[in-house]
Chain A
C-alpha cells in the first residue's frame, strides 16, 4: 500500500476513535434556473448567462458554502464542456464575449465551495445563437440628439456662408489676448503659452492650438518673444506648425524660431517644475493656459500671478475652472474655449457653428425644464403615467436603454 494512503487511513481512524471527525469538503447545492440569451446591441460575439443563486449562497452566512460560480460552455457539435470564466459569490450573471456569430452554444453553471468542492452542474434549457445587430439601439436617442445638434451646426454654417449676418457676444478672455501680448511687448518680456498636459487627440488641446495661432500672430506682429513648452511630442509638432503658419501669415517668417516651441517631459509634475522654473527665471509678462489641466493648474497660475504676469486661461475641466478663475485675470469657461477658433477667425461661416450650438442649448434647456416639471408633478400627484414618462425620459432618452 502506498505510504501516504496508509497514513491517511491511519489518521482518519485515530480521529474517529477519539470522537472527532475530520471536516470533509461538502458540495454546495447547484444554482437554480440558468438562462442564456444573445447579448443585445453587439456584433454577435457575446452571450449573457444568468442564473438563480444556489440555496447555499446566502448574503451573510456564518460559514460561506459557495465562494464562486464556474461558467462552462459547449459549442453545438462538441462533446465536452469547457470552462470559460468564473464569477464570485452573490453574482447572478456573466457575459461571454468570446463567441462566434451564428454558432450555437450550450451553457452550464457550477457552484464552487471552499476547498474546491463542486456542485452538480445546472444547465441552460436550450442552446443560444448570438446574432449581430446592425445598429446599436441603446444609443438611439443619443444619435437623435447628435443629429439635431450636428445638423444645426451644419445648417447655420451654410446659412452664414450664404451671407446672413450672425451676432456673437464678445468673449472677454479672447479680447484680452491682444492686450496681454501688447503689454508683454511694451515690457520687453516674453509671452508664455502652455497648451495643457494632454495629447493632440484631446479636443481641448486642439481648441487651445487655435488660440496659439492668434497669440503667435500677435507676437510676430509686435515682435514679442513667444515661449511654448509642451508636455507631448505630438503637441510640440502641431504647435510648431501653427506658430510657423502664424508668423508666415503675419509676413514675418524670418522671425520664427523653431526652438521657441519645445518639449519638456510627459510627466505631469516634471512638466510643472520645468514651466514654473522658466517662469521664475524669465518672468513672462503674459501667460496663456489653454487646454486640459489637472492638479497643475493652480501651481502654474499662482506662479504666474507671483511674477506679475497678465494671465488668460481656458479649459473644459470643470474641476480646474475655480482655480483658474481665482488666479487668472481672464478665464474661458468650457464652451468658450471651443468657441475660440470661430471667434478669433472672425469668419462668418465659423461663427455659424456657434449659432448651431445654441440650438443644442435650447434643446438641453427644454429637456431640463420638462424634466423638472414632470418630476414635480409626479411627486405631487403620484400619477402612474407621469412616472412612466419621467422614467422613459431619464432611462431611455438620457440613459442607455435606447428606443
Chain B
C-alpha cells in the first residue's frame, strides 16, 4: 500500500498533465496540480526546518567538530524567522493603517529587509564571486595540451576567448574575413557548438519522455522507497 498509493497518484496526475497539454478544457487542471505541489512543498518545509534545527542543536549539545557553525546557523534561523513573522520595523499599509501588521514583511526599511539587504545578499554575492576563481582553475586544468583532443580544445577556446574581445577584432583585422577571430567565433558558436548542444538537448528530451513513461507506468519504482 505504501508504494501502490503514491504510484497511483503519480500515474493519474502525470497522465492528466499530459492530457492537459492537448485538451484545452483540462488546461487549468495542470495549474491546479502545481498548486497542490506547492502546498505539499510548503508543508514539507516544516519537516526540513525541524530537521535543520534538530541536527544542529544535537551538534552543539555534543560539542562535535564545527559546533560553532551550528550555533551560528541556529541563531540565524530563529532570528530571521522571528523578525520575518513578527514583521519587525514594518509600517502599516496605506490600505489598512489601523492594523499594525498590515504592511509587507519585505517592506524597505523593515528589519527583515535589513537582514536580506545587508547580510543575506552580500553573503550570496560572495559565494557567487568565488566562481570566477574556480573558472580560472578549472580552465587551467581543462586546457592543458596533453593530447590531440586537448590541443584542439585549447585552440578553440583561445579563438572564442579572444574573438569575444575587441582585441580579437583588432589583432586579426588584417586576415581574410572568414579567418578573423570574431567571425571564427561566430562560426564555432553558431555551427559546431549549437549542433552539439542540440544533439544533447534532443537526447535529454527523449530521456525525459522515456523516464516519465517508466514512472507513470510503474516500471521504475526506485524513487518510492520500500514497502516495509
Contact = CB atoms under 8 A, between A and B. Distances in A.
Interface in B137-170: 137-139, 141-142
Contacts of B47: 233, 236-237, 263
Given A203-B212, A269-B128, A302-B137, A262 B200 contact: no
B142 A326 contact: yes
The 3 A-B pairs of least Cβ separation, nearest first, read: A241-B225, A338-B207, A233-B48
Contacts, number: 202
A57 interface: no
Contacts of B203: 333-335, 361
Nearest to B195: A368
Contact of A267 (B24, B48, B124): B124
Contacts of A132: 24-25
A272 B127 contact: yes
B127 A269 contact: yes
Contact of B41 (A213, A234, A325): A234
B219 A242 contact: no
Nearest to B50: A263
Contacts of A236: 47-48, 51
Question: What bracket does the count of chain A residues touching chain B fall in?
Answer: 35 or more
Contacts of B69: 277
Interface of B: 21-25, 27-28, 37, 40-41, 44-49, 51-52, 55, 65-66, 69, 120, 123-124, 127-128, 130-131, 134-135, 137-139, 141-142, 197, 200-215, 217, 219-220, 222-226, 228
A393 to B, nearest CB: 16
A264 interface: yes
Q: What is the predominant secondary structure among interface residues of chain A facing chain B?
A: helix
A281 B120 CA distance: 23
A392 interface: no
Main secondary structure of the interface of B (DSSP, over half): helix
A269 B28 CA distance: 34
27 contacts: A42-B24, A43-B24, A43-B25, A136-B23, A157-B214, A201-B37, A206-B211, A209-B222, A209-B223, A210-B222, A210-B223, A233-B46, A236-B47, A245-B225, A262-B51, A263-B51, A277-B69, A302-B138, A333-B203, A334-B200, A334-B203, A334-B204, A337-B207, A339-B210, A357-B207, A357-B209, A360-B209
B57 to A, nearest CB: 12
B22 A143 contact: yes
A298 B223 contact: no
A134 B219 contact: no
Interface of A: 41-44, 132-136, 139, 143, 146, 149-150, 153-154, 157, 199, 201, 203, 206-207, 209-210, 213, 230, 232-234, 236-238, 240-242, 244-245, 248-249, 259, 262-270, 272-273, 277, 281, 295, 298-299, 301-302, 305, 316, 318, 321, 323, 325-327, 333-335, 337-339, 341-342, 345, 349-350, 353-354, 356-357, 360-361, 364
Given A136-B24, A269-B127, A342-B220, A244 B202 contact: no
A150 B226 CA distance: 28
A241 B213 CA distance: 22
Contact of B23 (A135, A245, A345, A350): A135
Contacts of B48: 230, 232-233, 236, 263, 266
A270 B124 contact: yes
Contacts of B37: 201
